[in-house]
Amino acid sequence: MKKMLSLALAGVMALSLMACSAQNGGDSSENTSSPSSSQPSEEVVNVGTSSVTITSLNANKEAVELEVPFAPQRIAILDMASLDILDALGVGDRVVGTASTSLEYLQDYINDDIANLGTIKEADLEAVMACEPDVIFIGGRLASSYDALSEIAPVVYLATDTELGVVESVRQNATTIASMFGLEDKVDELMADFDARITALSEFAAGKTAIVGLVTSGSYNVLGNDGRCSMIGREIGFENIGVDANIDTSTHGNEASFEFIVEKAPDYIFVLDRDAAIGTDGAKLAQEIMENELVMGTDAYKNGNIVYLAHPAVWYTAEGGISALDIMLQDLESELLAQ
């Protein structure tokens, strides 16, 4: 019985491999499907090596040395920040499969020529295997699948380090990915103006207090400087008075009452609409939830200082990408520096 089951599975996988090969143009050296936003991969430097060693994370989120193919031809993506960086580096034409995403600026990768590999939270292992990737990129939501995916191809797991800061994390992760293609020099070019933009926002934020949080399922959850939106408190410098520094808020924050917001009386209130970010059906808009009688009595509301982050899906699913960082800074600049 076991022998028959193994033979059947082998047959299914063989058919899947044939389908994915046909979908992506057969042999990887002949793959011509290329998202329109990517630059031709001929820019990749050929240094005559077959592999390169990078620093990545393992299933336990520990930094490890990982050997990966140099200039991989077939890339499977299960992390939007990594896809963002690959796209910015101009090597997106090597993506043969990706997780689904609603991010507008990455929609060129959602098409019939690129295999659907599931979501950034749940990978379709058979689809990943069928695409015969040279390397697989994941984010923290798939850490538990690291070992299973590693049976298919080397797994590059990169993350944003809030202690290091979002900007430096992006720079570090982009350099790691660029080193796989000999494109390290391009990272400085892509990130040339970020430090100056952070400085301008920091000058505005000096001496101002804020509560940072996300709206989900009708409630407002406060965030600290240990996870999402940490850039607002850590790098830009608003004094985040919403939570105790020792409380873990890195996932979805901690639910807070609107009376709590009134009591804290922040100068600014920052709002990430999680329901909009993940496309929750029937959810109220963040503005409907936040602009209640209590909040409307605060100085933050009266002074027009409630900041609804305009691109919640970027903040929630792509933080750590180069284009994402640009969009996130634009969201803050348009609300704070345009006053």
Encode pLDDT of 168-204 as tens digits: 999 999 999 999 999 999 999 999 999 999 999 999 9
For 100, counting Cβ atoms within 10 Å of its Cβ (0-12 exposed, 13-18 middle, 19+ buried), the class is exposed
Q: What is the pLDDT of residues 124-158, one digit of tens each?
A: 999 999 999 999 999 999 999 999 999 999 999 99
> Do strands 95-98 and 115-116 pair parallel, antiparallel, or not at all (unpaired)?
parallel
What is residue 255's three-state secondary structure?
strand
Model confidence, pTM: 0.84
Return d(Cα 303, Cα 319) in angstroms, integer: 29
How many Cα neighbours within 13 Å face the side chain of 49? 15
pLDDT of residue 55: 97
Q: What is the pLDDT of residues 271-329, one digit of tens each?
A: 999 999 988 887 788 999 999 999 999 999 999 999 999 999 999 999 999 999 999 99
pLDDT of residue 250: 52
pLDDT of residue 284: 84
